[in-house]
């Protein structure tokens, strides 16, 4: 998911250099949204992993 955020950020940079302000702004907003979602999912994953612990299967 973070890969998509980086791709949209690069598209935004290229569009900004070429003078396409609308495309640049929209690509940056999409990249920012995807990056925020990725961070939220990462934090949720850390919390769930912390609650489950590192113990293996108990026999």
Question: In this predicted model, what pLDDT tens digit does every residue of 20-59 receive, in sequence order?
Answer: 888 888 888 888 898 899 999 999 988 888 777 765 566 6
Alpha-carbon distance of 38 to 11, in angstroms, equals 19
- Domain boundaries of the chain, sorted by first residue: 1-51
Closest CA to 42 of 4, 12, 1: 1
36: Cα separation from own chain's centroid: 5
Statement: residue 2 has pLDDT above 80:
no
The HSE-up count of residue 14 (CA atoms within 13 Å, CB side) is: 6
């Amino acid at each position: 998911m973070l890969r998509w955020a980086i791709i949209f950020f690069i598209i935004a940079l290229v569009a900004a250099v070429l003078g396409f302000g609308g495309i640049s702004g929209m690509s940056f907003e999409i990249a920012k949204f995807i990056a925020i979602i990725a961070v939220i999912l990462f934090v949720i994953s850390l919390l769930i992993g912390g609650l489950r612990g590192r113990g293996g299967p108990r026999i």
